[in-house]
Amino acid sequence: MQSNDVVTILVPEGTYDFRRMRNAVTEANAAGRTWCRTTCGETNRVTGKTNKFYRIAFEKNSCASLGESGLEIVKESDNLQAWSNWITTKPNKSLVGMGRGANLRGASIVVRSYEGSGNHIYRNLAIYDVNPHLIEGGDGLETVGSASNHVKKFWADHISYKWISDGMDMEFVDDATISYLDFDGANEYNCWGTDPYMALVEDAHLTYANNYWHNTYGRVPKVTGESNGSQVHLYNQYVDYNRFFIAGANGHSANAKAYVRYENSYIDNGQGYLAEWGDNGYVYFSGVTFGSGTKQQHRYNGTVTQGVPNAATFNPSYSFEKRTVANIPKEIPKLVGVGGRYGKMPEYNQAFGLSNKAATVSMTAPASGAKFEVGATVTLKADAKDNDGSVKSVAFYVGNTLVGTANSAPYQVNASGLEPGMYSAVAVVTDNSGLSQMSAFVTFSVEGTAYPEVVKCGGGSSSQSINLGEPIVDFCYTWSGAETVVPEGFPAGVSTSIDKENRKISISGTPAEAGEFAFTVTATNNDSTFIKSGRIVVTDPNAPESSSSAEPESSSGEIVESSSGTTLFAQRMNWATEAETAFYRIFDMQGRPLYSGDRMPAHMPAARVIVVEFGKSGSLLRRYIR
């Protein structure tokens, strides 16, 4: 981060401990400052207990500047610990967590215009445990500029933020965006059960988009205009439990006004004010829904007014997408923070120094870089130990998928059915106190060819007979080992919904036409094809009676599941017909190609095969099992 080069830093997924343990009082004394202590006036919301209150005074050997009674000076012999690691930066840096993200414990990252810093991107990171027992003991991520030298271009995206002494301050910054932030202010180690400071914004042009604020004390955000003024735009925000005011604005002069535009958001459990502002400060709310327990009131120059604030505002110079506000409480928590929608890293809930330490765990197998053939079983192993308790379990993840949990040594599980590709695996240990720790990851590859396969699922049969106007009984197919999957041949009115993420095709609807419909679901991968077929017969009860046979005409066909659960062979299928077969392709029962040519082989290449016949024009004639 201190390089003078343009650098993108890709941090492998896992937990990194940046803490620097030291005596907080010794450090403060050297800087001419004083740590002051008193007992909180109320119990902690999280624990129900009364905590000590540690706050720093920016003067030597005195707590008078804090303006509170009952404060005592903390001595070096009290061994008050601090562990934040102050990391300053040079310009043109991107810090990106890979995979499910990187956890940066104790890191306090500062982007300073003093060092020329700007053009910064931070993505897919958890920043946490920055002196949570102290007040004003360090930010996790902040910008620091000056009236004459702003930080330019800053983006923080998919950041998880917890146990931070002094919040996320954005000072003297322009062209800045904070998106998909998960700010959890719950803090069992401070006075009120929440972090005391959240988001202080000074002289900034800043956008907050799609963020989740929960268990906060207030000030999400507090905006000031120091010398140049501020314009802060918030949309698609979800606030759940806020103790004080949600948005604040205070401009220092007519030339340094502070504007907050807060729109298209959802606020639950707002315990204090929606907004607080004074002269040269403006807070505008629009399209905001207020959930249970939210007080709809605001305060201007100390005067409390009921209702939603609607002061002067500004118009953003960019376009943006508004979510459906009613869905925000369900959508936003699933999308924000490290990992985002693709799966958060397993929770890591240890608080240093005020609870016992989590167990440790390390992956021992497979070896990083190991290679396996398709179809092989991959054994995942780990060593785990707990120095102040016992190991309760070790869970193993391949990618974002939990593949198994071992509750006793040796800690190992097997993973099977993996398709070709690169994989990342981690182990997560949980101890007898419920604390968790994640191992460093190992990578391995699965090589070879995956053959496609389609499997029926759902309650409905793949061979159904119904009357026109009746819905079919819904059913589905899942697939594996395929690059493309094509369902076809269904009657009008019957829909096929393809879920690529879960590899599932759902079939439902009411046929809009009568007839006999032979359908197929074809899965293809390279030169391999797997075909699953079925039949839907739709009878029009009002149509004139036909002289056709009650049983389908028998000809070359394929196995079709019937509604009675039996298997019918050689049912008539609605294939295009030609007088002569010109080309044959033969597959085994898993869809692997065995033969292709213009003549039927004298002996089949397997005991049971799928034969596909084509006409001279290349049209499909028939498919059957032999």
Q: Are 81 and 22 in contact (CB under 8 A)?
A: yes
Amino acid at 129: D
Find where tokens 């000074």 sit: 202
Give the per-residue pLDDT at 221.
96
Between CA 624 and CA 589 the distance in angstroms is: 11
Average pLDDT, the chain: 87
Between CA 237 and CA 268 the distance in angstroms is: 11
Pairing type for strands 401-406 and 378-385 reads unpaired
Between CA 348 and CA 339 the distance in angstroms is: 14
Q: Is residue 579 predicted with pLDDT exceeding 60? A: no
| Distances in whole angstroms, Cα of residue 78 to Cα of each of 24, 39, 62, 137, 320 | 10, 15, 17, 17, 52
| Distances in whole angstroms, Cα of residue 572 to Cα of each of 418, 486, 547 | 38, 22, 17
Residues in CB range of 374: below 8 A, 6 or more apart: 418, 419, 420, 446, 447, 448, 449, 450
Give the per-residue pLDDT at 357.
66
Give the per-residue pLDDT at 622.
84
Between 587 and 409, whose confidence is greater? 409
Q: Determine whether domain 7-21+83-340 maps to CATH 2.160.20.10.
A: yes
Q: Are 440 and 363 in contact (CB under 8 A)?
A: yes
Helix/strand/coil percent split, the chain, to 5:
5, 50, 45
Q: Is residue 439 predicted with pLDDT exceeding 70? A: yes
Give the per-residue pLDDT at 422.
87
Q: Are 413 and 324 in contact (CB under 8 A)?
A: no
Q: Are 96 and 123 in contact (CB under 8 A)?
A: yes
Lowest mean pLDDT segment, chosen from 4-18, 456-470, 596-610 = 596-610
Q: What is the pLDDT of residues 56-86, one digit of tens each?
A: 999 999 999 998 888 999 999 999 999 999 9
Give the per-residue pLDDT at 153.
98
Strand blocks (E) in 71-187:
72-73, 81-82, 85-88, 93-97, 102-105, 107-112, 120-130, 141-144, 151-164, 170-179, 182-184
Confidence of residue 481 (pLDDT cuts 50, 70, 90): confident
Give the per-residue pLDDT at 596.
79
Give the per-residue pLDDT at 545.
60
Give the per-residue pLDDT at 341.
67
Q: Are 513 and 539 in contact (CB under 8 A)?
A: no
Lowest mean pLDDT segment, chosen from 19-28, 483-492, 607-616 = 607-616
Give the per-residue pLDDT at 601.
74
Bridge partners (DSSP) of residue 578 are: none
- DSSP H helices in 141-187: none
Buried b (16+ CB within 10 A) or exposed e, 351-368: bbeeeebbbebebbebee
CA 58 to chain centre: 40
Q: Is residue 194 predicted with pLDDT exceeding 50? A: yes
User: If we measure between CA atoms, which residue out of 105, 149, 110, 158 comes closest to residue 130?
Assistant: 105
Q: What is the pTM of this model?
A: 0.62
Confidence of residue 251 (pLDDT cuts 50, 70, 90): very high
User: If we measure between CA atoms, which residue out of 167, 187, 183 comes closest to residue 45?
Assistant: 187
Buried b (16+ CB within 10 A) or exposed e, 167-179: bbbbbbbbbbbbb
Domains 361-447 and 456-513+520-551 share a fold: yes
Pairing type for strands 442-447 and 170-179 reads unpaired
Between CA 240 and CA 231 the distance in angstroms is: 24
Q: Is residue 187 predicted with pLDDT exceeding 60? A: yes
User: Across the chain, which distance is largest between two alpha carbons, in Å?
Assistant: 107
Between CA 149 and CA 595 the distance in angstroms is: 73
Strand blocks (E) in 346-448:
360-365, 370-373, 378-385, 391-398, 401-406, 411-415, 421-431, 436-438, 442-447
Domain 361-447: which CATH number of 1.10.10.410, 3.40.50.970, 3.90.1200.10, 2.60.40.10: 2.60.40.10
Q: Is residue 147 predicted with pLDDT exceeding 50? A: yes
List the domain boundaries for the chain: 7-21+83-340, 22-82, 361-447, 456-513+520-551
Give the per-residue pLDDT at 557.
34
Between CA 246 and CA 228 the distance in angstroms is: 23
H-helix or E-strand containing 475? strand 475-480
Residues in CB range of 545: below 8 A, 6 or more apart: none
- Identify the three-state secondary structure at position 17: strand
- Identify the three-state secondary structure at position 34: strand
Phi, psi of 331 (to 5 degrees): -80, -50
Between CA 337 and CA 345 the distance in angstroms is: 10
User: What fold does the segment set 456-513+520-551 form as a domain?
Assistant: Immunoglobulin-like (2.60.40)
Give the per-residue pLDDT at 437.
83
Q: Is residue 434 predicted with pLDDT exceeding 90? A: no
Confidence of residue 561 (pLDDT cuts 50, 70, 90): very low
